[in-house]
């Protein structure tokens, strides 16, 4: 039997529509309630990385479509760390800016950790600041990293029961695997994190009611590794041998075993983009009281 498809494009569209409605409500706020507010996102790109340039262009375009004001700082690859930190300090102080995003990776001579920590935790639209990671750990999240946040929305939309479920996350990065595991834990799942040093990956994945793959290796997850009826979320973004975009999951094989599955493309990717808009809007709503 073929698994139900969790359509990231359709869900992201409905999230963007909801963001647009809430942005319009903020913009129409009467003077007696504090006056109009336009949510603002500041995007900073350092260097000429082609993939990063596409990502930031998409982020700016997404903002425009829902009424969020965005700015894009394109700084040369030889920008000093001090110059970047000074720019972040200006954005932290700018009341029109509710979210700040510094596109990663940064050039080698810049300490990415120091840059992320320089962003005000109240404007950290990516949710990477240790303050926001800590909030997530203690179960009081402020900004959640966009990719795992989007995955949680997909699971909710798919009606996947998390309370008491066995969840297995493959990957332990700070931007996907670890925050994903924390969010699943907060939702009541029993969580296992697998990674490059895990022995017998399949023994873990076969127990999973919910399986999230976030590695970056095509066909890492095959049908024999999946529990019948499981929900399988494919975060991976890879180029297959044919040059086409693919995930970490052998989609054709796994869809015959799983109960629900996300495609690549059209799965987690559009949700990541949509959740950045949600984070920016919610920051503006918080600052507007």
Interface contacts to ligand NAD, rule CB under 6 A: 147, 170-173, 175-177, 194-196, 198, 201, 214-217, 235-238, 268-269, 272
Cβ closest to ligand NAD, residue 26 vs residue 230: 230
Q: How far is the CB of 35 from ligand NAD (least distance, A)?
A: 35
Cβ closest to ligand NAD, residue 97 vs residue 220: 220
Separation CA 199–CA 116 (nearest Å):
33
Half-sphere exposure of 176 (CA within 13 A, CB side): 20
180 in catalytic set: no
Closest residue by Cα to residue 219 from 200, 203, 193, 238 = 238
How do the residues of the chain divide into helix, strand and coil, expressed in percent and rounded to 5? 45, 15, 40
Cβ closest to ligand NAD, residue 6 vs residue 26: 6
Closest residue by Cα to residue 71 from 41, 91, 96, 95 = 41
Q: How far is the CB of 107 from ligand NAD (least distance, A)?
A: 18
Cβ closest to ligand NAD, residue 119 vs residue 268: 268
Cβ closest to ligand NAD, residue 84 vs residue 154: 154
Separation CA 225–CA 170 (nearest Å):
12
Q: How are beta strands 231-234 and 260-261 bridged, if at all?
A: parallel
- Label residues 189-206 b or e (16+ Cβ within 10 Å = b): bebbbbeeebeebeebbb
Tokens of 173: 């990065």
Q: How far is the CB of 36 from ligand NAD (least distance, A)?
A: 32
Q: How far is the CB of 58 from ligand NAD (least distance, A)?
A: 11
Q: Which of 62, 123, 124, 126 is catalytic?
A: 126
Q: How far is the CB of 113 from ligand NAD (least distance, A)?
A: 14
78 in catalytic set: no
Q: Which of 62, 103, 234, 248 is catalytic?
A: 103
- CB contact at 8 A, 196 and 223: no
123 in catalytic set: no
Closest residue by Cα to residue 125 from 51, 71, 204, 192 = 71
The residues that are catalytic are 59, 103, 126
């Amino acid at each position: 039997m073929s698994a139900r498809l969790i359509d990231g494009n359709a869900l992201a569209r409905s999230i963007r529509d909801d963001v647009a409605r809430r942005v319009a409500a903020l913009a129409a706020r009467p003077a007696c309630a504090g006056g109009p507010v336009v949510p603002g996102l500041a995007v900073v790109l350092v260097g000429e990385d082609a993939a990063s340039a596409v990502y930031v262009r998409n982020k700016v375009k997404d903002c425009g479509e829902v009424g969020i004001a965005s700015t894009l700082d394109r700084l040369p690859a030889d920008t000093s760390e001090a110059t970047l930190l000074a720019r972040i300090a200006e954005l932290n102080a700018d009341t029109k800016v509710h979210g700040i995003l510094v596109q990663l990776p940064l050039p080698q001579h810049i300490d990415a950790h120091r840059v992320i920590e320089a962003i005000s935790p109240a404007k950290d639209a990516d949710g990477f600041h240790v303050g926001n990671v800590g909030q997530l750990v203690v179960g009081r999240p402020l900004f959640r990293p966009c990719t795992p946040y989007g995955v949680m929305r997909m699971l909710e939309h798919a009606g996947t029961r998390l309370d008491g479920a066995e969840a297995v996350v493959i990957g332990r990065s700070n931007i996907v695997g670890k925050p994903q595991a924390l969010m699943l834990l907060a939702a009541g799942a029993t969580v296992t994190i697998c990674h490059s040093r895990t022995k017998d990956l399949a023994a873990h994945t076969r127990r999973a009611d919910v399986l999230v793959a976030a590695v970056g290796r095509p066909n890492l997850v095959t049908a024999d590794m999946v529990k019948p009826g499981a929900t399988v979320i494919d975060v991976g973004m890879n180029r297959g041998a044919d040059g086409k975009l693919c995930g970490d999951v052998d989609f054709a094989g796994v869809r015959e075993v799983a109960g629900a599955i996300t495609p690549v493309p059209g799965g987690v990717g559009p949700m990541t983009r949509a959740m950045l808009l949600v984070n920016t809007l919610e920051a503006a709503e918080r600052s507007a009281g």
